[in-house]
Amino acid sequence: MRILFGLALALIAGLPAPAGAGDPIRIGVVLPFSGVYAALGGDITDGMMLAFETFGDTVAGRRIELIREDSEVKPSVGLTKTKKLVYQDQVDLLVGPVASNVAGAMRDFVHNAEIPLIVPNAGNNLLTGERCSPWVIRTSFSNDQINRGMGGWLFDKGYRSLYLLAADYAAGHQMMAAVKRSFTAAGGAIVGEEYPPLRETKDFAPYLAKIKAAKPDAMYVFFAGGPAIQFVKQVHDFGLKKEIALTGAGWLTSPLFLPAEGAAAVGFTGALNYVPSIDSDENRQFQNAFQEKHGRVGSEFTVQGYDTARLIVEALEITGGATDDKAALVAAMHQVSFTGPRGPLRIDPATNNVIQDIYVFETRQVGYAVKQVVIDKMEAVQDPPNGCRMEVGRG
């Protein structure tokens, strides 16, 4: 789909002209605009648009133009759309996707085509670990990065035993592995772990009964979307939070799901790279501008889109709007560092993953609203290389 967001002139497909001053800078955007992650694709796009309005949509006389394609959350579709953007629309760089399986499908192609791909969500550790690429830059997070610090943090707060519960898919396992490693390294014990089938589990009661019987100090969970809402409500109705602390990866009570969860979400302690209540001028400005424009709270996904677009604009300013030398463009992205809504941010040249603060928050009732209140912060969390060796060429 070719939607130009009012930023750009109409684009005629397949212009093979070499890029020069005055030509638009074409960014191919591969995000889900249909399917289960459509809301995330929308949030990221809205965040990017706001950033282009704020930081400028023209660099060195070249206007930034977005060409949007729907990945439908299908790897093969995402890959085909990526090829179309590169071969037919001749985009200068790519942004996307949301889901890790689509990212996996796009990875080899952009790696061989040597087109920079900025990933605004997909958290698969391998993407900036063993399967890292000089051309794949991630502005969002790795599954490890969000959860790794929480093992030690929970131990320091006096929790000695954890029960792990996550949806049975790759992301769920990666997140639980991260917290398991750090919690046991600190001296804690994992007393049990369960992985309910993804999207098929409607009734969590059997799992909650098991957790209750195991009597851990806390449970550490990861769910997102519909299951997150169901899980939060069922834990609340079960009355389990009175005996066992509810902790986990912060998406459980994302602003996208909080309105549906309501008061049932109160009492959850989570870790995430962004929450709307961060107390900083940058965040207040961002939230004011976003809420004024869209009438809703900007989520972590919105911020990931916003920071992605800002990284692109600032990198283009360093190269003077030049996009033909892709290596120089990526090198410019390594030079960029700024303080955004989620705090100081830069790209780690060793892995191409973002270095960012991770926030520990608690979901509390504030007046009539349920909010994520920041209670702690881990600064400049950086992933170890995790087997990443940057190799130019086939890999």
Single out the residue of 7, 170, 318, 355 in contact with another protein (rule: CB under 8 A).
Answer: 170
- Nearest CB to another protein, comparing residues 85 and 370: 85
User: How far apart are the C-alpha atoms of 194 and 210, rounded to whole Å?
Assistant: 9
Residues 333-392 that bind another protein (CB under 8 A): none
Piece of the chain touching another protein by CB under 8 A; list 103-111, 243-251, 296-304, 375-383: 103-111
55 binds another protein (CB under 8 A): no
From the list 73-81, 292-300, 357-365, 367-375, the region that binds another protein by CB under 8 A is: 73-81
Whose CA is closest to 190, among 200, 182, 180? Answer: 180
Out of 15, 22, 53, 87, point to the residue binding another protein (CB under 8 A). 87
Smallest separation (angstroms) from another protein to the CB of 390:
16
d(CA 172, CA 164): 10
Q: What is the largest CA-CA distance in the chain?
A: 67
| Token pair for 244 | 């066992």
What is the 3-class SS of 302-337, one letter each residue?
Answer: HHHHHHHHHHHHHHHHHCCCCCCCHHHHHHHHHHCE
> Pick from 36, 198, 240, 350: which binds another protein (CB under 8 A)?
198
**Which of 8, 32, 33, 248 is in the footprint of another protein by CB under 8 A?**
33
Are residues 390 and 134 in contact, defined by beta-carbon separation less than 8 angstroms? Answer: yes
* Two tokens, residue 249: 């990866």
Out of 104, 120, 341, 343, the only residue in the binding site for another protein (CB under 8 A) is 104
Give the nearer residue to another protein in terms of CB position, either 89 or 217.
89
Stretch binding another protein (CB under 8 A), from 4-12, 105-113, 207-215, 254-262: 105-113
> For the window 216-235, what string marks contact with another protein as x by the rule CB under 8 A?
--------------------
Q: What is the DSSP letter of 24?
A: P
| Residue 84 C-beta: closest distance to another protein, Å | 5
Residue with tokens 């390594």: 334
Rounded-to-integer distance, Cα 69 and Cα 31, Å: 7
SS3 label, residue 374: strand
181 is a contact residue toward another protein (CB under 8 A): no
Rounded distance between C-alpha atoms, residue 219 and residue 249, angstroms: 11
- Residue with smaller CB distance to another protein, 131 or 342: 131
The answer to the question of residue 18 lying near another protein (CB under 8 A) is no
Among the listed ranges 4-12, 18-26, 84-92, 255-263, the one in contact with another protein (CB under 8 A) is 84-92
| Binding of residue 1 to another protein (CB under 8 A) | yes
105 near another protein (CB under 8 A): yes
Name which position in 29, 48, 93, 126 contacts another protein (CB under 8 A). 126
Nearer to another protein, 6 or 158 (CB): 6
- Name residues whose C-beta falls within 8 Å of residue 181's C-beta, 6 or more positions apart in sequence: 148, 151
Residue with smaller CB distance to another protein, 40 or 322: 40
Ranges of H-type helices in 267-299: 281-294
Q: Is 175 a binder of another protein (CB under 8 A)? A: no
**Residue 100 in contact with another protein, rule: CB under 8 A:** yes
Could you tell me whether strands 369-381 and 354-366 are parallel, antiparallel, or unpaired per DSSP bridges? antiparallel
Tokens (6 digits) for 20: 């020069």
Contact yes or no for 67/12 (Cβ under 8 A): no
Exposure string of 303-328, with b = 16+ CB inside 10 Å and e = fewer, is bbbbbbbbbbbbbbebbebbbeebee
* Binding window for another protein (CB under 8 A); candidates: 67-75, 220-228, 250-258, 363-371: 67-75
Per rule CB under 8 A, count of chain residues that contact another protein: 33
Element (DSSP H or E) covering residue 375: strand 369-381
Identity of residue 115: I
The torsion angle over the Cα atoms of residues 91, 97, 100 and 104, rounded to 10 degrees, is -10
Q: Which of 11, 55, 114, 168 contacts another protein by CB under 8 A?
A: 168
State the residues that interact with another protein by CB under 8 A.
Answer: 1-2, 14, 33-34, 70, 74-76, 79-80, 83-84, 87-88, 100-101, 104-105, 107-109, 112, 124, 126, 131, 168-171, 173, 198, 395
